[in-house]
Structure 1
Amino acid sequence: MNKVVLVTGANSGIGLALCERLLSDDAEGLQLCLACRNMQRAHAARSALLASHPSAQVALLQMDTSSISSVIAASQEVKLRYNRVDYLYLNAGIMPNPHFDMKAFFKGLFSSNIITMFATGEGILTQKDCLTHDGLQSVFATNLFGHFLLIRELEPVLCYAGRTSQLVWTSSSNAHRSAFNVEDIQHQRGTQPYSSSKYACDLLSLALNTHYNKQGLSSSVICPGFVMTSLTYSILPSFPAFLWTLLMPLFWLIRIFTNTFTLTPYNGTEALFWLFKQKPESLDPQAKYHSLTSGLGNNYTEPRKMDVDLATSEALYEKLLQLENDVRKKLKEKQKESQHVMHHGSFA
C-alpha cells in the first residue's frame, strides 16, 4: 500500500529537494502531497517533479501555516482525500525582515568565530516580527503554531490503528535556548523570533512524543545545516549578487573544516531522507538529527543531544493547548458574527 507523505513548504528549497529525493527513491510507492502557501509556485514545483517522475502521484494542497482558517480548511481537505498520513514533514518556515549587522559580520570574518557565525547566524542576525490577521506573532504562527494546529487537526489520520506515523520538524542550528522564554512563547518582547520559534519546535517535538507515542505517532527533529536557499538570500536582500558569488568559494573552503556546511538543498535534506528509512522505535526523542557533509562532499546523518528538558517542553505544550482553545473560540465567534450579518442582510 502506498505511503502518504505530506510536506509543508514544499515548493522550493529544502522541501522541494526532499520531494525530489523521495520520488527518486520510490516514485511508485508514494502518494506525495505538497502543502504550499503560493499555489503558482506549487504548480511549478509539481510540474518539475512530474517531469523527472512522470508516473508519480503528486497532489497539491493550499495551506498558509500563519493562518488559522487556512490550516483548518487544509486539514479538512487532507481528511477527505486520505484515510491516513504516514509521514508529515513540518518544513514551512519564515524569517521576515532580518536585520544584518554588517560590522559584526566583517569583524567575524577575521575571527575564530567565523564558522559558528556562518553556521548559526549568532551575533549577526535579528528580526522584526509582525502580527498575522489572527493577532498572532507571524514567525511563531508560521514556524510553530500553525504546524501544531495541523497536527491536532490531523490526529484521526495520523494516529491510525495498527500503523505508525512520523512527524519530522525542520529545525535549525539557530535554535537557541537563550532566545526562548516559556512566559513569552510568541517572542513578543524579543528580537530573535526565528531562533525562539525553532527552539520551540525542538521542545514541542519532545512533548509530542510524550503525549502521542502510545497512539503510534512519533516526532523527530532535524537540522539541515548551512544551506543556500531563498531564506538564506533574504537575510541580505540588498546584498549584490556578485558578492554572493565571491562568498561561495569561501563557503566551500570553510566546509573543509566543518561538516555543518551542507550548502545545497539536496545535501540539507540528508537527515530528512534518512529518517524516512528509520523505524520510529529506534529514534531518540531528545536528539536532533543533523544533515552533515564532509569536505569531500559525502553526506551523512548524525544525532546530537538537544538542549531541551521535559519540564519546559510540557509547559510549552500546555500553553499551546490553551492558545489553541482561545483561537478556536475566536474563530467560532467570527463565524457567528458573519452568519448574523448575512442573515440580517438577506432581510434588508
Structure 2
Amino acid sequence: MTHNGIRFENKIALITGGSSGMGLATAQRLIAEGAEVIITGRDKGRLDAAVAELGERATAIAGDVTDAEDLAVLGRTVGERFGRLDVVFVNAGVGAFQPFAAVTTEEFDRIVGLNFKSVFFTVQQVLPLVSAGGAIVINASFATYRGAPGTALYTATKAAVDSLARTLAAELAPKGIRVNSISPGYTDTPAFRVETTPETQAEAASRVALARIGTSDDVAAAVAFLASADASYITGQDLLVDGGLTTVIPSAMV
C-alpha cells in the first residue's frame, strides 16, 4: 500500500467509456490517486470536455470499441505514447430492456457487440501492454444475480463478461495480472436519469437496503480498490456495488 491515499502514483490506466458516468468518475478517482489516465469513447466532443475537466494527466483517444480497426488504433496509440498499462477498466456498454419475444437478430447483434464482443476484443488488443502486477476490471451488473422480465438480452451479455473475468483471471494469473469484475446496482448516471422518472428512481431506492441509489463515485471507489495493491490477493471475483440490493431485504419490506 502507498501512503496518503496515492495508490496509483506512476501508474497508467485505460478506461473505456470514460467520458461520463462511471467511467468518468473512475478516471477522476484514479487521477486523484496519482495515475495518468487514458479515456476512450465515440464522441470526440464529450471526450474533449472530459479531458478539460480531468486535467493534464488525462488523455483521450476517440474510437468505437465495436470496431476492430479502432481497437487496433487504440492499442497502437497507447503502446507508442505510454509503453504499458497498469490498470484497465473495461467499462463501455449499454442497457437494453425489452421482452424476450421482441428481440430481433439486429438488436441481438448490436447489444452483444457492445456489451460482450467489444469487452472481449478490447482486453485482447491491450493485453500485451498490461504489466506484470497489473489489474483488469470489467463492468458487469447486479442483473446477473436476479432474473427479471425484459432483461434477457442485457443480462446474458453481462453474465458473459462476468464469466470472462473469471476465466481470464485463471489464464493471466501466471503473468501476474489480476482480473475481477464489478456489478453495480441502480446507479445515478446520465443514462439512468434518461431511462427513469423521479418516481421510478424513488421506487428503485426503496428496494435497496441502504435506501438510496448508488453514485458513480461509489463504483469508482470499488474499481480503484480492485485495481490497487490493496487488492493484490484478489482475482477472479465479482464485487457487488449495490447497497445490498441483491442480497439484503430492506427493513421496510420485512
TM-score category (smaller protein): 0.7 to 0.9
1:245 corresponds to which residue?
A: 198
Distance 1:128 1:11, change over 3 A: farther
Matches within 5 A, 1:78-97: 78-96=78-96
Query: In percent, how many aligned pairs have the same letter?
Result: 21
Contact kept in structure 2, 1:34 and 1:59, CA below 8 Å: yes
1:97-108, aligned counterparts within 5 Å? 98-99=97-98
Shift of 1:6: 0.4
Q: Which runs of 5+ in 2 are unaligned?
A: 1-8, 248-254
Alpha-carbon distance change, 251 to 206 in structure 1, aligned in 2, over 3 angstroms: closer
Structure 1 gaps, min length 5: 51-55, 102-124, 180-189, 237-243, 296-301, 303-348
CA distances 1:165-195 after superposition (whole Å, capped 9, x unpaired): 110011101125979xxxxxxxxxx972211
CA–CA distance in structure 2, aligned partners of residues 131 and 65 of structure 1: 18
SS in 1 for 2:85: coil
Paired amino acid for 1:269: A
Amino acid in the other structure paired with 2:123 = I
Asked if structure 1 preserves the Cα contact closer than 8 Å seen for 2:138 and 2:182, the reply is: yes
**Structure 2 contact 142–242 (Cα < 8 Å) conserved:** no
C-alpha displacement at 1:149, in angstroms? 1.5
**Residue 252 and residue 196 in structure 1: after superposition, are their counterparts in 2 closer, same or farther (change >3 A)?**
closer
The question of whether the paired residues in 2 share the 8 Å contact of 1:128 and 1:191 is answered with no
Q: Contact conserved, 2:204 with 2:213, CA < 8 A, in 1?
A: no
Q: Report the Cα offset of residue 157 of structure 1.
A: 1.2
Shift of 1:259: 4.0
Residue 252 of structure 2: aligned partner: none
How many residues align structurally?
A: 237
TM-score (norm 1): 0.60
When the two structures are superposed, what TM-score results if normalisation uses the length of structure 2?
Answer: 0.80
What is the CA RMSD across the aligned residues, in angstroms?
3.1
Q: State how far apart, in whole Å, the 2-side matches of 1:129 and 1:142 are.
A: 15
Q: Tell me, what secondary structure is at the counterpart of 2:239?
A: strand
Instruction: Name the counterpart of 2:109.
Output: 137
| Secondary structure in structure 2 of the residue aligned to 1:289 | strand
**Match for residue 234 of structure 2 among 258, 279, 283:** 283
SS in 1 for 2:84: coil
Give the whole-Å Cα distance in 2 for the aligned partners of 1:224 and 1:126: 27
Partners of 1:127 and 1:23 lie apart in 2 by 42
Question: Does structure 2 conserve the Cα–Cα contact (< 8 Å) formed by 1:11 and 1:42?
Answer: yes
Would the aligned equivalents of 1:127 and 1:191 in 2 still touch at CA under 8 Å? Answer: no
One-letter code aligned to 2:165: S
Name the CA shift for 1:129/1:73 in 2 (closer, same or farther; >3 Å): farther
Larger radius of gyration: 1
Letter of the 1:76 counterpart: R
AA at the equivalent of 1:264: T
Structure 2: distance between partners of 1:126 and 1:268? 33
RCO greater where, 1 or 2, for CA within 8 Å and sep 6 or more? 2
Partners of 2:142 and 2:42 lie apart in 1 by 25
| 2:54 counterpart letter in structure 1 | L
CA drift at 1:129: 5.7
Q: Which residue of 2 aligns with 1:216?
A: 176
Match of 1:57 in 2: 57
Q: Which amino acid aligns with 1:205?
A: A
1:270 positional shift: 3.0
Match of 1:326? none
Tell me, in whole angstroms, the C-alpha distance in 2 between the residues paired with 1:268 and 1:202: 16
Alpha carbons 1:166, 1:280 under 8 Å: kept? no
Whole-angstrom CA distance in 1 between matches of 2:201 and 2:151: 28
* CA 229–128 in structure 1, closer or farther in 2 if over 3 Å, else same: farther
Which residue does 2:126 correspond to in 1?
154
Distance 1:72 1:140 in 2: 20
SS at match of 1:274: helix
Q: 1:209 to 1:229 in 2, by over 3 A?
A: same
Amino acid at match of 1:170: N
Partner of 1:204: 164
Please show how residues 239-318 of structure 1 align to structure 2 within 5 Å: 244-255=197-208, 258-259=209-210, 261-279=212-230, 281-285=232-236, 287-293=237-243
What SS does the corresponding residue of 1:271 show, helix, strand or coil? helix
Q: Any idea what SS the aligned residue of 1:73 has?
A: helix
Counterpart-to-counterpart distance in 2, 1:250 and 1:224: 17
SS in 2 for 1:11: coil
The residue type equivalent to 1:289 in the other structure is L
